[in-house]
Amino acid sequence: MRPVLSVHEVTKKFHQVVANDRVSFDVMPGEIHCLLGENGAGKSTIAECIYGFHRPDGGTISVRSKELDLRSPSDAIRSGIGMVHQHFVLVPSMTVLENIVIGTEVATAILDMREAAERIAEICRRYNVEMDLNSRVSALTVGQQQWVEIVKALFLGAEILIMDEPTAVLTPQESRRLFAIFREMCESGMSIILISHKLDEVMQSDRVTVLRKGKKVGTVETRASSKSELTNMMVGREIDLGAPRPRGVIGSPMIELHGLCAQGDLGTPALNGMTLTVHRGEIVGIAGVAGNGQKELFETLTGVRKATDGRVVFDGKEVTNHSPRDIQKAGMGHIPDDRFSEGLVPDFDIQSNLILGAQREPAFSKMGFLRFDAIRQFARDSIEAFAIKAPSAQTACRTLSGGNAQKVIVAREFAQSTKAILANQPSRGLDIGVIEYMHGRLTDKRDENFAILIASEELDELRSLADRIVVIFKGQIVGEFRHDAVDLERIGLLMAGHTGEAAAKTSVGEA
C-alpha cells in the first residue's frame, strides 16, 4: 500500500528556533497516526506546515506521491487535507450551517445553501452525528462544537484530517464515541493525524511518530508498543501518573460557597445555588463537561464575575464580590482555562508575565523601583523548574507553544498564592513530564495547608490527585465521591446529566 501523505525532511525555523528539523513520516490510507512529543517538540508546527499555514524552509510534503506546493490552507484543502485547530475558529453568533459553509464557494447562493444543508445532513447520517444545523454555535457545548469543526472538514472534502489536541471536554462515553467514529472514517478510506498528550487516546491509534526537540525520534506500531515505552521515547524516562499520593490532613474550611449564583456571558444562569467547602490541606476535584459553570465558578470566586446571589467566604472572611486584586492579595491564585485571552499578555515577554500582578510586591520592587536582579532570578528559576522552552526570559509569550504558555501561568500563580489555588484544566496541553512536576507541586501546596480546587477533563488526573471529587452539571453539584470511593463510569453518567438510580446512589451530597 502506498502512503496517502508523505512528509519528507521538513525543516521549519522561526529565527534561531528550529521547530522542525528534517522531520519525515508517512501516513497510510485508513490509518490513525499520532504525533506525540513534549511541549515545544514541534507538533503543531509540522501540522501547520502540512495544512499550508507555515511554509517549510526545507523538505517536501506529498499527497499520493505528488509533491505539493502549499501556499495557504486553501491549497491544502484542495489537496484533501483538513484541520481542526486547538482553538476553535467558529463564529458563535452564527448557525451551525452558516459556520460550515462560511468561506467556501457554496455560500454564495441560496439554492446552494439548501444543497449544502443536504450534503451536511448526509455526512451527519453517515457517521451518526446528531446536529441541529439551525442552532447557533453559542448554544452548543464544547463537545458539540468539536463535531461542527469535524463535519466542516468532511464537508470540504478532507481525506486527511489533522486534529491538533482535540481539547473538547468529553465524558469517557463521548470520547469512546469519538474514536468509534474515527474508526468508521478510517474504514471508508480517510486518514487521521492526531496530536494528543493523552496517552489513553494515543494508545487507540495505529502508529505513533514521536518528536523530540524538533527532531523525529521514531515511528512505532501502537499495538507493539506501550504507554511506558512511548513516554520513554518522548521524555527519556518512565513516568507513572497513576500512583495515588499520600493524603494530607484535612483542616478547617478555607473556601466556602453558600448558595452561589452567577450568570454566564450571555446573561443566562450559569451557577444555580452552588454550595461547596474546600478545607485547608484538601484538594477538591471538579469533574464536568466544559460549559457547566466551571469557568463562571472560578471567575466568581476570584472576583472577576459578579455573584448575583449567595456568598463566598475565604479564610473566614466574606469576600463576595470583592475586587480581583483584593482576593488575589488575600492569597488566592487562579489558573484560568483560556490561557491566551485571560492568563497572559501575549505581547509581553515571559519575565513580565511571570510577575504580572506582583510587580509592586516587596520581592520585586523597592521604593517604587523594580528590582530587576530579583525579577530576572525569579524568571530564571521558574523557567528551569517548569522546563519552559524558549530562547530566553525576554521571549514574547505569543510565540510560545501551547504547553509552554500554560507553564508560565502555572509558575506565576504557584508563586503568588499563599492560601489557595484554583485551577481550571491546569494540565490541558501539558506534556506528561510537566504534569508530573505540577502534580508534585500541587501536593506540596496541599501539605502546606493550601486549599486547592481543580476542574479537569482528565478523570484519571482527578482520581490520582483529589481527596474528593464533586461532579458539576448545569451550575450545580450533582454528586460527590471520596477518593477511596471513586467510580469513573458513574461520574461519567453524572457529567452527562443522568441522575438515574445508579448515579444517585453515590451522590452523597455535601460533606
Binding residues for ligand ATP, per CB under 6 A?
14, 17, 19, 37, 39-45, 389, 399-404, 429
Nearest to 145 by CA among 169, 161, 123, 171: 169
Rounded to the nearest whole angstrom, what is the least distance from the CB of residue 36 to ligand ATP in the complex?
9
Query: Do residues 39 and 386 lie in contact, with contact meaning Cβ atoms separated by under 8 Å?
Result: no
Cα–Cα distance, 495 to 483 (Å, whole number)? 17
Closer by beta carbon to ligand ATP, 45 or else 300: 45
Q: Tell me the closest approach of the beta carbon of residue 40 to Mg ion, in angstroms.
A: 8
Coil, strand or helix at 186: helix
Choice between 404 and 449, CB closer to ligand ATP: 404
CB nearer to ligand ATP: give 259 or 391. 391
- 8 A C-beta contact, residue 26 and residue 147: no
37 binds, among Mg ion, ligand ATP, none (CB under 5 to 8 A by kind): ligand ATP
Nearest approach in angstroms of CB 165 to Mg ion is: 6
- Nearer to ligand ATP by Cβ, of 400 and 486: the residue is 400
Task: Give the interface segment with Mg ion, choosing from 38-46, 92-100, 346-354, 463-471 (CB under 5 A).
Answer: 38-46
404 binds, among Mg ion, ligand ATP, none (CB under 5 to 8 A by kind): ligand ATP
Binding-site size for Mg ion (CB under 5 A) equals 2
Q: Which residue is nearest to Mg ion (CB)?
A: 44
Single-letter code of the amino acid located at 318: E
From its phi and psi, is residue 261 left (phi > 0), alpha (psi between -120 and 50) or beta?
beta
**DSSP structure string for 240-293:** ---SPPPP----SEEEEEEEEEEE-TTSSEEEEEEEEEEETTEEEEEE--TTSS
The stretch among 37-45, 186-194, 364-372, 476-484 that binds Mg ion (CB under 5 A) is 37-45
State the cell numbers at 139: 448554544
Smaller CB distance to ligand ATP: residue 227 or 311?
227
Q: How near is the Cβ of 385 to ligand ATP at its closest, in Å?
A: 17
Q: Looking at beta carbons only, is 197 or 280 nearer to ligand ATP?
A: 197
**Which DSSP helix (H) or strand (E) runs through 195?**
strand 191-195
399 binds, among ligand ATP, Mg ion, none (CB under 5 to 8 A by kind): ligand ATP
Choose the one of ligand ATP, Mg ion, none that binds residue 196, judging by a C-beta under 5 to 8 angstroms depending on kind: none
Q: How far is the CB of 337 from ligand ATP (least distance, A)?
A: 15
40 binds Mg ion (CB under 5 A): no
Q: What angle do CA 308, 293, 138 make, to 5 degrees?
A: 100
Choice between 173 and 219, CB closer to ligand ATP: 219
Residue 57's Cβ-count burial label (10 Å; 0-12, 13-18, 19+) is middle
Could you tell me the maximum CA-CA distance found in the chain, to the nearest angstrom? 71
* Distance of alpha carbon 162 from alpha carbon 52, whole angstroms: 12
- Answer yes or no: are the C-beta atoms of 177 and 168 closer than 8 Å: no
CA nearest neighbour of 167 among 379, 338, 348: 338
202: its cell numbers: 494515543
| x/- letters, 372..411, toward Mg ion (CB under 5 A) | ------------------------------x---------
Q: Would you give the DSSP letter of residue 105?
A: G
- Measured CA to CA, the distance from residue 293 to residue 169 in angstroms comes to 13
* Of residues 54, 52, 41, the one with CA closest to residue 14: 54
Rounded Cα distance, 205 and 44, in Å:
18
Say which entry of Mg ion, ligand ATP, none residue 39 contacts (CB below 5 to 8 A, set by partner kind): ligand ATP
* Between 272 and 399, CB nearer to ligand ATP: 399
- Give whichever of 428 and 468 is closer to ligand ATP, judged by the CB atom: 428
Nearer to ligand ATP, 45 or 146 (CB): 45
Among ligand ATP, Mg ion, none, the one that 19 touches (CB under a kind-dependent 5 to 8 A) is: ligand ATP
Q: The C-alpha cell of 87 is what?
A: 482553538
- Whose Cβ is closer to ligand ATP: residue 40's or residue 248's? 40
**Least separation in angstroms between CB 108 and ligand ATP:** 33
Spatial separation of the C-alpha atoms in residues 70 and 8, rounded to whole Å: 14
Question: Which triple of cell numbers denotes residue 361?
Answer: 510586591
Residues paired with residue 333 on neighbouring β-strands, in sequence order = 421
List the one residue from 6, 10, 19, 44 that touches Mg ion (CB under 5 A).
44
As measured in angstroms, the least distance from the Cβ of 94 to ligand ATP is 28
Smaller CB distance to ligand ATP: residue 382 or 417? Answer: 382
CB-count exposure of residue 243 (10 Å: 0-12, 13-18, 19+): exposed
Q: State the binding partner of 94 from Mg ion, ligand ATP, none, CB within 5 to 8 A by kind.
A: none
**Strand bridging mode 269-279 / 420-424:** unpaired
Taking the complex as a whole, how short is the minimal distance between the CB of residue 261 and ligand ATP, in angstroms?
Answer: 36
Q: Answer with the entry of ligand ATP, Mg ion, none that 56 interacts with (C-beta below 5 to 8 A by kind).
A: none
Give how far Cα 501 sits from Cα of 61, 126, 292, Å: 54, 33, 22
Given Mg ion, ligand ATP, none, residue 170, with its beta carbon under 5 to 8 Å by kind, binds none
Q: How many residues does the chain have?
A: 511
Which does residue 17 touch among ligand ATP, Mg ion, none (CB within 5 to 8 A, set by kind)? ligand ATP
198 binds, among Mg ion, ligand ATP, none (CB under 5 to 8 A by kind): none
Q: Which residue's Cβ has the minimum distance to ligand ATP? A: 403
| Interacting residues with Mg ion (CB under 5 A) | 44, 402
